[in-house]
Structure formats: C-alpha cells, structure tokens
C-alpha cells in the first residue's frame, strides 16, 4: 500500500493507482481460447483476494479499490466482466454505469441493496457462497458449470 490506502499493481510496464497487487491473479498457461479478464472494483482487499483465488486459473482478475482506478483501467483495457461493490471511498459508483453498459456486470455488495435494480445480477456478501459466486460469474462469462444439488 502506498499513501492513503491506494496500492499499485504492475500492468505491463505501468502502475495503476488503486490497483491492489496482492489480488491480481495471473492465470496459468493453458491451450485454447483466451482466459477471461475480470475487473473487480472493491475497497475490500480481503474480498478481492478471495475472488481472485476462487476464479484462478479459469479467469484473470484485476482488482482496484477506487473509482479513479476503475476509470483508468476501463479506458486502457477491455474486460470480459466486472464485479463491483459500489461502496467506494472516492465517489459514486453509479458514475461508472455508462462505461459498463456493454460489459457483463455483477454487483457483489453487503451495503448496497438498492443496486439490485441497477444491475441484472446481484449477490449479497458475505452471504453468497463461493459456489454461488463462481456459478454466477461463470454464467456471465458463458462458461459451462456442472449442475449440483442446491444450485
């Protein structure tokens, strides 16, 4: 961490303010189609580490803790999906919605139930199980998942 709770993570030769290095998961090498790239926007680095661990190696996760960091990454890169907790320290996450209109979006939040109406997909944390989280993201990405009892 550097400064006021803003960390940097390398992306190529550049560092992005608000990107948490510990939660950037790099996929293992595998043949076939490209690995989906998920942008996780969440002030909680523990949640980001859990999500990255859950999705790796099936997806690459880049985490930012701030609205400013998310804006910068959305200008620089194309993402397969976005997972957002709208409770951000530096502004109103609703300001990002126009930039996210063409990207599958999961709102994953404990404090923002009003976002159920803003997003087609909402999971309440910490009550959603890892299986629910994985299954929901896999559906957003079009990845087939086995059906189990309780799904």
Asked whether residue 34 is assigned to any structural domain, the reply reads yes
Burial of 20 from C-beta contacts in 10 A (0-12 / 13-18 / 19+):
buried
Rounded Cα–Cα distance for residues 100 and 96 (Å): 6
Rounded Cα–Cα distance for residues 39 and 77 (Å): 10
Asked whether residue 151 is assigned to any structural domain, the reply reads no
Asked whether residue 112 is assigned to any structural domain, the reply reads yes
Asked whether residue 60 is assigned to any structural domain, the reply reads yes
Residue 112 has pLDDT above 70, yes or no: yes
**Residue 78 in tokens:** 């194309």
Asked whether residue 87 is assigned to any structural domain, the reply reads yes
- Return the percentage of the chain with pLDDT > 90, whole number: 51
Contacts of 13 (CB under 8 A, 6+ apart): none
Asked whether residue 71 is assigned to any structural domain, the reply reads yes
Contacts of 79 (CB under 8 A, 6+ apart): 37, 38, 39, 62, 73, 103
Q: Tell me, what CATH number does 40's domain have?
A: 3.40.50.2300
* Tally of domains within the chain: 1
Asked whether residue 89 is assigned to any structural domain, the reply reads yes
Asked whether residue 37 is assigned to any structural domain, the reply reads yes
Q: Report, as an integer, the average pLDDT of 85-112.
A: 90
DSSP for 36-82 reads: PEEEEE-S-HHHHHHHHHHHTTTSEEEEESSHHHHHHHHHH---SEE
Q: Provide the domain limits for residue 119.
A: 8-141
- Residues 55-96: pLDDT tens digits? 999 899 999 999 999 999 999 999 999 999 999 999 989 899
Rounded Cα–Cα distance for residues 37 and 35 (Å): 6
Angle among Cα 140, 144, 147 to the nearest 5 degrees reads: 110
Rounded Cα–Cα distance for residues 125 and 123 (Å): 6
The pTM is what? 0.76
The pLDDT value given to residue 34: 86
């Amino acid at each position: 961490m550097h400064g006021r709770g803003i960390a940097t993570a390398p992306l190529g030769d550049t560092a992005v303010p608000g990107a948490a290095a510990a939660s950037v998961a790099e996929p293992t090498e595998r043949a076939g189609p490209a690995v989906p790239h998920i942008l996780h926007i969440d002030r909680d680095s523990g949640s980001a580490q859990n999500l990255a661990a859950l999705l790796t190696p099936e997806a690459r996760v880049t985490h930012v803790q701030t609205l400013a960091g998310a804006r910068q990454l959305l200008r620089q890169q194309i993402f397969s999906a976005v997972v957002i907790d709208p409770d951000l320290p530096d502004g109103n996450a609703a300001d990002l919605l126009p930039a996210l209109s063409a990207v599958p979006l999961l709102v994953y939040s404990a404090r923002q139930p009003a976002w159920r109406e803003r997003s087609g997909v909402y999971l309440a944390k910490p009550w959603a199980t890892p299986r629910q989280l994985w299954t929901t993201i896999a559906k957003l990405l079009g990845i087939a998942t086995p059906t189990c009892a309780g799904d």
